Amino acid sequence: MTSATKTTALTRWLQTAPAPLFVLYGGLMAFGAYFAMYAFRKPFTAASYAEVGDWVVDYKIALVIAQVFGYALSKLIGIRFVSELPGRWRALAIVVLIGLAQLALVGFAVVPAPLNIVFLFLNGLPLGMIWGLVFGFLEGRRTSEILGSILCASFIVSSGVVKSVGKWLMLQGYADEFTMPAITGLLFAPLLAVCVWGLTHLPPPNAADMAARVERAPMDKAARRVLFSAYAPGLVALILLYVMLTALRDFRDNFAAEIWKGVGLGEQAALFTLTEIPIGLLVLCVMAGLAIFRSNRTAIFANLVLIGVGLCLTAGASIVFYLGLIGPVLWMVLLGAGLYLAYTPYNGLMFDRLLAATGKVGTAGFLIYVADSSGYLGSVALLLFKNFSGLHLPWVEFMIGASALSGVVGLGLLIYASLYFSRRFS
């Protein structure tokens, strides 16, 4: 069962509500819940921590590595936790996990550097499971593409918004670099509470949903092993591609402050938000458009085509910027659009359709978390490479080179995966 089992007047109304109203309600609740989660994860990246001395690793890189490593470990835990957790416990799990993340931010504020690095690890450790818990309310429905696309838009827009809020708090003198993350989280706590409460009132998928998308149920270890091994070659290729996309997307997101500074626009707090809004709207519209495909097989390949378009845009934007044909703001918008067009299908929509095409009872959360855990370990690897490789490229040049290379290698992996799944689902 995808949502809570309780029946309320609101749940009964949603069961019979017109599809547009149901999508609007469910999409906004999911959007708000995950949007609020980002306020507990990303605001610290708006600070440069330039006053803190460096040790073996640049202090900010150490903070990002600590949080991302905790986040990656959380994804590994989530492979089992998210896929086995009964729906009635999802909302409580979300609140408890984000509460633990906020306590870690308080520790980050009160413990001096560099000892406070450990609190960023503790902050990331619970947050990696939130996506799967929120998506669990949405998957397995005929409207999952539209609901999922609204949810996906949240992590595109929210990162910029919460960093703008964090930057504003520092510029106005309301917080310093260490207290700002915890204060930003508190500001978004009411939104989190309202939206998680709203999600608990979503009714489970009905009979028509299950006929179109297969019944969704918790998966034990044996069921997970059977599903993955049945499609291992194609899944491994897609996951390797996702590792590169996650590392690149995370690098752009975590070090946006340094990249903007590198192009001479480091003091404009609004840029964090203004460049992400058009990206979020574009991805929302494109991903929602995938709902027109009734055939699960066709929808899978539409997702793969979208990933290919995103890879081409990612590499192309960096190349034309390097050649001086476009300015830095347009480059960051196009780069972000390409990355998110390629990255977003992995966050539920493609795997939701893939699971439906297999005809197996289970949850898309399992496949999402196998990919995510690998992806965030790749993000850590990229950061370690940047710090220890001896390749002392400035932030902007490093971003250009990494995105161009990832576009080329990623297209090769995508072509292989497409050929594999075309044979399996023919």
Q: Is 218-425 CATH 1.20.1740.10?
A: no
Residue ranges per domain, the chain?
A: 15-206, 218-425
Q: For residue 391, what pLDDT is reported?
A: 63
Classified by CATH at the fold level, domain 15-206 comes out as Growth Hormone; Chain: A; (1.20.1250)
> 164 vs 38, 51, 180, 374, CA distance in Å?
12, 20, 11, 29
Q: For residue 14, what pLDDT is reported?
A: 92
Q: For residue 5, what pLDDT is reported?
A: 47
Closest-CA residue to 397 (of 327, 336, 318, 313): 318
pLDDT at 361 over 80: no
Q: What gap in Å lies between CA 403 and CA 311, rounded to an integer? A: 9
Question: Which residue reads 């499609």 in tokens?
Answer: 231
pLDDT at 224 over 70: yes
> 318 vs 34, 349, 396, 420, CA distance in Å?
29, 27, 10, 30
The type of residue at 217 is A
Tell me whether domains 15-206 and 218-425 share a fold: yes
- Determine contact, residues 332/103, Cβ cutoff 8 Å: no
- Determine contact, residues 218/85, Cβ cutoff 8 Å: yes
- Determine contact, residues 421/237, Cβ cutoff 8 Å: no
Neighbouring residues of 263: CB distance < 8 A, sequence distance ≥ 6: 328, 396
Q: For residue 254, what pLDDT is reported?
A: 75
Q: For residue 51, what pLDDT is reported?
A: 77
317 burial type by CB count under 10 A (0-12 exposed, 13-18 middle, 19+ buried)? buried
Average pLDDT over residues 333-343: 91
Read off the pLDDT band of 3 (50, 70, 90).
very low
Q: For residue 267, what pLDDT is reported?
A: 67
pLDDT at 45 over 60: yes
Read off the pLDDT band of 4 (50, 70, 90).
very low
* Count of CB atoms situated within 10 Å of the CB of 212: 15
Q: For residue 85, what pLDDT is reported?
A: 85
Q: pLDDT tens for residues 62-97?
A: 898 899 889 888 988 888 888 788 888 999 999 999
- Determine contact, residues 358/231, Cβ cutoff 8 Å: yes
**First-to-final CA distance of the chain:** 30
pLDDT at 292 over 70: yes
Average pLDDT over residues 14-42: 94
pTM for the full model? 0.75
Q: For residue 374, what pLDDT is reported?
A: 83
pLDDT at 121 over 80: yes
Could you give the angle at the alpha carbon of 165 between the alpha carbons of 164 and 167, nearest 5°? Answer: 65
Closest-CA residue to 219 (of 87, 361, 89, 73): 361
Q: Which neighbouring-strand residues pair with 362?
A: 216
**Better pLDDT: 387 or 198:** 198
Specify whether the backbone of 359 is left (phi greater than 0), alpha (psi in -120 to 50) or beta: left
pLDDT at 55 over 80: no
Q: What gap in Å lies between CA 391 and CA 409, rounded to an integer? A: 20
Q: Which neighbouring-strand residues pair with 216?
A: 362
Q: For residue 261, what pLDDT is reported?
A: 83
Average pLDDT over residues 352-377: 79
140 burial type by CB count under 10 A (0-12 exposed, 13-18 middle, 19+ buried)? buried
- Determine contact, residues 240/405, Cβ cutoff 8 Å: no
Q: What is the mean pLDDT of the chain?
A: 86
Read off the pLDDT band of 159 (50, 70, 90).
confident
Q: What gap in Å lies between CA 346 and CA 86, rounded to an integer? A: 23
Read off the pLDDT band of 335 (50, 70, 90).
very high
* Count of CB atoms situated within 10 Å of the CB of 164: 20
pLDDT at 166 over 70: yes
Q: For residue 1, what pLDDT is reported?
A: 40
The whole-angstrom distance between residue 133's C-alpha and the CA centroid of its chain comes to: 13
Q: Which of 110-114, 177-181, 284-288, 409-413 has the lowest mean pLDDT?
A: 284-288
Q: For residue 141, what pLDDT is reported?
A: 84
Two tokens, residue 238: 């897609």
Which of 104-113, 251-260, 297-306: highest mean pLDDT?
104-113
pLDDT at 302 over 60: yes
Q: What gap in Å lies between CA 66 and CA 125, rounded to an integer? A: 10
Q: For residue 360, what pLDDT is reported?
A: 76
Q: pLDDT tens for residues 145-157?
A: 788 888 888 877 8
Closest-CA residue to 287 (of 116, 426, 155, 176): 155
Q: What gap in Å lies between CA 109 and CA 194, rounded to an integer? A: 27
